[in-house]
Structure 1
Amino acid sequence: MRWVDRAALVLGLGIGGFVDGIVIHQLLGWHHMLSGWYPLDDVHLMMLGDGLFHLLCLLLVLVGVAMLNRRPPLPNAVLAGGILAGWGVFNLVEGIVDHHVLGVHHVRHGPGELAYDLAFLAAGLVLVVVGVLMSRRASANPPARA
Protein backbone atom coordinates (compact mmCIF):
# COMPACT_ATOMS: atom_id res chain seq x y z
CA MET A 1 0.00 0.00 0.00
CA ARG A 2 1.22 3.49 -0.85
CA TRP A 3 1.92 6.04 1.84
CA VAL A 4 -0.42 8.61 0.30
CA ASP A 5 -2.59 8.81 -2.78
CA ARG A 6 -0.61 10.20 -5.75
CA ALA A 7 -3.43 12.44 -6.99
CA ALA A 8 -3.86 14.02 -3.54
CA LEU A 9 -0.09 14.46 -3.30
CA VAL A 10 0.07 16.31 -6.64
CA LEU A 11 -2.88 18.46 -5.60
CA GLY A 12 -1.07 19.23 -2.33
CA LEU A 13 2.09 20.25 -4.20
CA GLY A 14 0.10 22.88 -6.11
CA ILE A 15 -1.83 24.04 -3.07
CA GLY A 16 1.37 24.30 -1.04
CA GLY A 17 2.92 26.44 -3.76
CA PHE A 18 -0.14 28.68 -3.82
CA VAL A 19 -0.05 29.12 -0.04
CA ASP A 20 3.66 30.00 -0.23
CA GLY A 21 3.16 32.42 -3.11
CA ILE A 22 0.06 34.11 -1.74
CA VAL A 23 1.14 34.38 1.90
CA ILE A 24 4.92 34.84 1.75
CA HIS A 25 5.30 36.56 -1.63
CA GLN A 26 2.17 38.70 -1.77
CA LEU A 27 0.68 39.24 1.70
CA LEU A 28 3.85 39.35 3.80
CA GLY A 29 6.14 40.53 0.99
CA TRP A 30 9.11 38.67 2.49
CA HIS A 31 10.49 37.61 -0.88
CA HIS A 32 9.68 37.06 -4.52
CA MET A 33 10.58 34.06 -6.62
CA LEU A 34 13.73 35.67 -8.05
CA SER A 35 14.60 38.13 -5.27
CA GLY A 36 17.84 36.35 -4.40
CA TRP A 37 19.19 36.70 -7.93
CA TYR A 38 17.89 40.11 -9.05
CA PRO A 39 17.31 43.48 -7.38
CA LEU A 40 13.90 43.94 -5.77
CA ASP A 41 13.43 47.28 -7.51
CA ASP A 42 12.85 45.47 -10.82
CA VAL A 43 9.12 45.11 -10.14
CA HIS A 44 8.35 43.70 -13.60
CA LEU A 45 10.89 40.90 -13.22
CA MET A 46 9.67 40.10 -9.68
CA MET A 47 6.07 39.91 -10.94
CA LEU A 48 7.12 37.78 -13.92
CA GLY A 49 8.96 35.30 -11.68
CA ASP A 50 6.04 35.10 -9.24
CA GLY A 51 3.56 34.77 -12.11
CA LEU A 52 5.46 31.87 -13.66
CA PHE A 53 5.64 30.24 -10.24
CA HIS A 54 1.86 30.62 -9.79
CA LEU A 55 1.30 29.22 -13.28
CA LEU A 56 3.28 26.11 -12.30
CA CYS A 57 1.19 25.83 -9.12
CA LEU A 58 -2.01 26.09 -11.17
CA LEU A 59 -0.81 23.34 -13.51
CA LEU A 60 -0.06 21.08 -10.52
CA VAL A 61 -3.53 21.70 -9.08
CA LEU A 62 -5.17 20.98 -12.46
CA VAL A 63 -3.15 17.77 -12.91
CA GLY A 64 -4.06 16.69 -9.35
CA VAL A 65 -7.76 17.35 -9.99
CA ALA A 66 -7.61 15.45 -13.29
CA MET A 67 -5.91 12.53 -11.54
CA LEU A 68 -8.59 12.54 -8.82
CA ASN A 69 -11.32 12.62 -11.46
CA ARG A 70 -10.01 9.38 -13.03
CA ARG A 71 -10.44 7.31 -9.88
CA PRO A 72 -13.11 6.46 -7.30
CA PRO A 73 -13.62 9.14 -4.64
CA LEU A 74 -11.15 9.10 -1.77
CA PRO A 75 -12.15 9.16 1.89
CA ASN A 76 -11.82 12.72 3.20
CA ALA A 77 -8.96 11.84 5.57
CA VAL A 78 -6.98 10.18 2.75
CA LEU A 79 -7.50 13.22 0.51
CA ALA A 80 -6.60 15.67 3.30
CA GLY A 81 -3.59 13.60 4.33
CA GLY A 82 -2.32 13.48 0.76
CA ILE A 83 -2.79 17.21 0.34
CA LEU A 84 -0.89 17.92 3.59
CA ALA A 85 1.89 15.54 2.55
CA GLY A 86 2.10 17.19 -0.88
CA TRP A 87 2.28 20.64 0.71
CA GLY A 88 5.09 19.37 2.93
CA VAL A 89 6.95 17.88 -0.04
CA PHE A 90 6.61 21.25 -1.78
CA ASN A 91 8.16 23.00 1.25
CA LEU A 92 11.02 20.51 1.47
CA VAL A 93 11.89 20.52 -2.23
CA GLU A 94 11.42 24.26 -2.70
CA GLY A 95 13.27 24.98 0.54
CA ILE A 96 16.26 22.80 -0.27
CA VAL A 97 16.54 23.64 -3.97
CA ASP A 98 15.58 27.33 -4.05
CA HIS A 99 16.78 28.48 -0.63
CA HIS A 100 19.94 26.42 -0.16
CA VAL A 101 21.18 24.94 -3.45
CA LEU A 102 20.33 27.66 -6.00
CA GLY A 103 19.96 30.65 -3.66
CA VAL A 104 17.03 31.93 -5.73
CA HIS A 105 15.60 33.49 -2.58
CA HIS A 106 15.26 32.93 1.16
CA VAL A 107 12.04 32.81 3.15
CA ARG A 108 12.88 36.18 4.65
CA HIS A 109 16.05 38.00 3.62
CA GLY A 110 18.19 39.72 6.22
CA PRO A 111 18.89 38.95 9.87
CA GLY A 112 17.85 35.44 10.82
CA GLU A 113 17.34 34.28 7.23
CA LEU A 114 18.82 30.85 7.99
CA ALA A 115 16.40 30.41 10.91
CA TYR A 116 13.45 31.25 8.63
CA ASP A 117 14.72 28.82 5.99
CA LEU A 118 15.16 26.05 8.55
CA ALA A 119 11.71 26.72 10.05
CA PHE A 120 10.24 26.44 6.53
CA LEU A 121 11.93 23.04 6.12
CA ALA A 122 10.76 21.92 9.58
CA ALA A 123 7.19 22.94 8.74
CA GLY A 124 7.46 20.91 5.54
CA LEU A 125 8.66 17.86 7.45
CA VAL A 126 5.81 18.18 9.96
CA LEU A 127 3.27 18.47 7.12
CA VAL A 128 4.66 15.32 5.44
CA VAL A 129 4.60 13.30 8.67
CA VAL A 130 1.09 14.44 9.66
CA GLY A 131 -0.22 13.91 6.13
CA VAL A 132 1.26 10.43 5.79
CA LEU A 133 0.01 9.36 9.23
CA MET A 134 -3.46 10.75 8.53
CA SER A 135 -3.65 9.07 5.14
CA ARG A 136 -2.30 5.72 6.35
CA ARG A 137 -4.61 5.63 9.37
CA ALA A 138 -7.65 6.36 7.21
CA SER A 139 -6.56 3.78 4.62
CA ALA A 140 -6.04 1.12 7.29
CA ASN A 141 -9.47 1.82 8.85
CA PRO A 142 -11.91 2.43 5.99
CA PRO A 143 -15.37 3.61 7.04
CA ALA A 144 -18.05 0.95 7.28
CA ARG A 145 -20.57 0.94 4.44
CA ALA A 146 -24.25 1.16 5.29
Structure 2
Amino acid sequence: MPPTPSAPLTRTPLIAAGILIGAGMGGFVDGIVLHQILQWHNMLSNQLPPDTLVNAKVNMYWDGMFHAAVWVMTALGLRLLWAAVTRPDVPRSGRTFSGALLLGWALFNLVEGIIDHQLLKLHNVREYAPDPQPWNLGFLGLGVLLLLAGWALVKAGKRDAGAGPAPTHR
Protein backbone atom coordinates (compact mmCIF):
# COMPACT_ATOMS: atom_id res chain seq x y z
CA MET A 1 0.00 0.00 0.00
CA PRO A 2 1.43 3.39 -0.95
CA PRO A 3 2.28 5.83 1.85
CA THR A 4 0.02 8.76 2.50
CA PRO A 5 1.37 12.10 1.27
CA SER A 6 2.42 12.96 4.84
CA ALA A 7 4.12 9.61 5.54
CA PRO A 8 7.81 10.17 6.26
CA LEU A 9 10.45 8.68 4.01
CA THR A 10 13.32 6.73 5.51
CA ARG A 11 16.71 5.96 3.98
CA THR A 12 17.83 3.73 6.85
CA PRO A 13 16.94 0.38 5.19
CA LEU A 14 18.81 1.35 2.02
CA ILE A 15 21.84 2.51 4.00
CA ALA A 16 21.88 -0.66 6.14
CA ALA A 17 21.76 -2.86 3.03
CA GLY A 18 24.52 -0.85 1.35
CA ILE A 19 26.78 -1.02 4.40
CA LEU A 20 26.44 -4.82 4.65
CA ILE A 21 27.00 -5.34 0.92
CA GLY A 22 29.91 -2.88 0.94
CA ALA A 23 31.58 -4.63 3.88
CA GLY A 24 31.16 -8.00 2.17
CA MET A 25 32.46 -6.74 -1.15
CA GLY A 26 35.38 -5.01 0.59
CA GLY A 27 36.18 -8.36 2.17
CA PHE A 28 36.09 -10.02 -1.24
CA VAL A 29 38.48 -7.41 -2.65
CA ASP A 30 40.85 -8.08 0.25
CA GLY A 31 40.58 -11.86 0.00
CA ILE A 32 40.73 -12.16 -3.77
CA VAL A 33 43.28 -9.46 -4.53
CA LEU A 34 45.58 -9.50 -1.48
CA HIS A 35 45.27 -13.17 -0.46
CA GLN A 36 44.92 -14.95 -3.78
CA ILE A 37 46.12 -12.85 -6.71
CA LEU A 38 48.98 -10.89 -5.13
CA GLN A 39 49.57 -13.49 -2.38
CA TRP A 40 50.75 -10.79 0.02
CA HIS A 41 49.28 -12.53 3.06
CA ASN A 42 46.95 -15.22 4.33
CA MET A 43 44.54 -15.02 7.23
CA LEU A 44 47.10 -16.32 9.76
CA SER A 45 50.35 -15.73 7.91
CA ASN A 46 51.98 -13.65 10.67
CA GLN A 47 51.22 -16.33 13.27
CA LEU A 48 51.63 -19.38 11.04
CA PRO A 49 53.86 -18.64 8.02
CA PRO A 50 52.79 -20.76 5.04
CA ASP A 51 56.32 -22.15 4.65
CA THR A 52 55.27 -25.81 4.93
CA LEU A 53 52.47 -27.68 3.24
CA VAL A 54 50.63 -28.11 6.55
CA ASN A 55 50.89 -24.39 7.39
CA ALA A 56 49.79 -23.46 3.86
CA LYS A 57 46.75 -25.74 4.18
CA VAL A 58 45.80 -24.27 7.58
CA ASN A 59 46.08 -20.76 6.13
CA MET A 60 44.01 -21.80 3.10
CA TYR A 61 41.32 -23.20 5.39
CA TRP A 62 41.08 -19.91 7.35
CA ASP A 63 41.11 -17.91 4.11
CA GLY A 64 38.14 -20.04 3.04
CA MET A 65 36.34 -19.40 6.33
CA PHE A 66 36.96 -15.68 5.79
CA HIS A 67 35.48 -15.88 2.26
CA ALA A 68 32.48 -17.81 3.58
CA ALA A 69 31.86 -15.09 6.18
CA VAL A 70 32.01 -12.23 3.66
CA TRP A 71 29.75 -14.24 1.31
CA VAL A 72 27.14 -14.53 4.10
CA MET A 73 27.51 -10.82 4.84
CA THR A 74 26.94 -9.97 1.17
CA ALA A 75 23.95 -12.31 0.91
CA LEU A 76 22.35 -10.76 4.00
CA GLY A 77 22.95 -7.32 2.52
CA LEU A 78 21.23 -8.37 -0.71
CA ARG A 79 18.25 -9.61 1.30
CA LEU A 80 18.07 -6.26 3.09
CA LEU A 81 18.37 -4.45 -0.25
CA TRP A 82 15.46 -6.44 -1.68
CA ALA A 83 13.34 -5.58 1.35
CA ALA A 84 14.33 -1.90 1.12
CA VAL A 85 13.53 -1.39 -2.56
CA THR A 86 10.11 -2.99 -2.22
CA ARG A 87 9.10 -0.51 0.49
CA PRO A 88 7.27 2.60 -0.72
CA ASP A 89 8.65 4.72 2.15
CA VAL A 90 12.28 4.11 1.11
CA PRO A 91 13.46 6.53 -1.58
CA ARG A 92 15.71 5.04 -4.22
CA SER A 93 18.88 7.05 -4.33
CA GLY A 94 22.00 5.98 -6.17
CA ARG A 95 24.08 8.43 -4.17
CA THR A 96 22.76 7.14 -0.85
CA PHE A 97 23.30 3.52 -1.84
CA SER A 98 26.76 4.14 -3.36
CA GLY A 99 27.77 6.06 -0.26
CA ALA A 100 26.57 3.23 1.96
CA LEU A 101 28.60 0.75 -0.11
CA LEU A 102 31.71 2.87 0.46
CA LEU A 103 30.89 3.16 4.17
CA GLY A 104 30.67 -0.63 4.39
CA TRP A 105 34.00 -1.10 2.63
CA ALA A 106 35.51 1.53 4.92
CA LEU A 107 34.19 -0.25 8.00
CA PHE A 108 35.62 -3.53 6.73
CA ASN A 109 39.06 -1.93 6.24
CA LEU A 110 39.02 -0.19 9.60
CA VAL A 111 37.87 -3.22 11.59
CA GLU A 112 40.21 -5.58 9.71
CA GLY A 113 43.11 -3.13 9.95
CA ILE A 114 42.71 -2.37 13.64
CA ILE A 115 41.80 -5.85 14.90
CA ASP A 116 43.68 -8.26 12.60
CA HIS A 117 46.71 -6.11 11.71
CA GLN A 118 47.28 -4.02 14.82
CA LEU A 119 45.75 -5.75 17.86
CA LEU A 120 45.81 -9.50 17.11
CA LYS A 121 48.67 -9.29 14.60
CA LEU A 122 47.24 -12.20 12.62
CA HIS A 123 48.75 -10.88 9.41
CA ASN A 124 50.03 -7.73 7.74
CA VAL A 125 48.81 -6.29 4.47
CA ARG A 126 52.16 -7.12 2.88
CA GLU A 127 53.53 -9.83 5.13
CA TYR A 128 57.08 -10.12 3.83
CA ALA A 129 57.84 -6.44 3.21
CA PRO A 130 60.98 -5.21 5.01
CA ASP A 131 58.69 -3.01 7.13
CA PRO A 132 55.02 -4.06 6.87
CA GLN A 133 53.71 -1.24 9.07
CA PRO A 134 53.49 1.40 6.30
CA TRP A 135 51.34 -1.04 4.30
CA ASN A 136 49.10 -1.59 7.35
CA LEU A 137 48.75 2.15 7.89
CA GLY A 138 48.01 2.66 4.19
CA PHE A 139 45.21 0.10 4.47
CA LEU A 140 43.76 2.09 7.39
CA GLY A 141 44.25 5.32 5.43
CA LEU A 142 42.28 3.87 2.52
CA GLY A 143 39.55 3.01 5.03
CA VAL A 144 39.43 6.62 6.24
CA LEU A 145 39.23 7.93 2.63
CA LEU A 146 36.42 5.47 1.83
CA LEU A 147 34.63 6.56 5.01
CA LEU A 148 34.83 10.25 4.06
CA ALA A 149 33.72 9.64 0.47
CA GLY A 150 30.89 7.38 1.59
CA TRP A 151 29.69 9.87 4.19
CA ALA A 152 29.72 12.67 1.60
CA LEU A 153 27.67 10.58 -0.85
CA VAL A 154 25.14 9.53 1.80
CA LYS A 155 24.79 13.15 2.85
CA ALA A 156 24.36 14.26 -0.79
CA GLY A 157 21.81 11.50 -1.29
CA LYS A 158 19.64 13.00 1.42
CA ARG A 159 18.55 15.58 -1.13
CA ASP A 160 17.29 12.72 -3.32
CA ALA A 161 14.87 11.71 -0.55
CA GLY A 162 12.90 14.90 -1.11
CA ALA A 163 11.98 13.76 -4.62
CA GLY A 164 9.20 11.54 -3.25
CA PRO A 165 8.66 7.87 -2.60
CA ALA A 166 10.07 5.13 -4.74
CA PRO A 167 7.77 3.97 -7.52
CA THR A 168 6.01 0.69 -6.78
CA HIS A 169 6.59 -2.08 -9.29
CA ARG A 170 4.77 -5.15 -8.10
> Could you tell me the TM-score, scaled by structure 1's length?
0.92
- Decide which of 126, 131, 147 is 1:128's aligned counterpart: 147
- The amino acid that maps onto 1:47 is M
Amino acid aligned to 1:134: L
Structure with max Cα Rg? 2
Match of 2:98 in 1: 80
Deviations 1:15-60 (A, max 9, x none): 0000000111111110001101112122211110110000000000
Of all paired residues, the percent bearing the same amino acid is 37
- The whole-number CA distance in structure 2 between the counterparts of 1:132 and 1:66 is 23
- Residue 58 of structure 1: which of 39, 64, 71 is its match? 71
Q: Distance in 1 between matches of 2:132 and 2:150?
A: 27
2:130 counterpart of 1:111: yes
Q: For structure 2, which runs of at least 5 residues remain unmatched after alignment?
A: 1-9, 87-91, 165-170
Question: What's the counterpart of residue 90 of structure 1?
Answer: 108
| CA distance in structure 2 between the partners assigned to 1:143 and 1:61 by the alignment | 29
Q: Which residue of 1 aligns with 2:3?
A: none
Which of 20, 28, 33 is the equivalent residue of 2:30? Answer: 20
CA distance in 1, matches of 2:47, 2:36: 18
Please, what TM-score do these two structures have when normalized by structure 2? Answer: 0.79
* Structure 1: stretches of 5+ with no match in the other structure: none
Runs of 4 or more consecutive aligned structure 1 residues displaced over 3 Å after TM superposition: 1-4, 141-145
Task: Indicate the RMSD between aligned Cα atoms, in angstroms.
Answer: 2.0
CA distance in 2, matches of 1:105, 1:97: 10
